[in-house]
Amino acid sequence: MSQVKIDINLKVNSQSVDRYKFGKATHEATTLYRPHENKIILPVGILQKPFFDAQFDATQNFGAIGMVIGHEITHGFDNSGLQCIRDQYDNVVVKSEVTDTVLGKVSGETSLGENIADNGGLKSSFRAYREYLKEFPSQYTEEAGVKLFYLSYARAWCFKNTHSQILDKFWRTHTLERYRVTGALQNNPEFARVFQCPTDSYLNRCGNWVHGYRTYM
Q: Which residues are identified as catalytic?
A: 72, 118
Angstrom distance (rounded) from CA 29 to CA 65: 11
CB-neighbour burial class of residue 158 (10 A; exposed 0-12, middle 13-18, buried 19+): exposed
Angstrom distance (rounded) from CA 80 to CA 69: 22
* Helical axes 112-135 vs 142-156, angle rounded to 10°: 140
Strands 39-41 and 102-105: unpaired
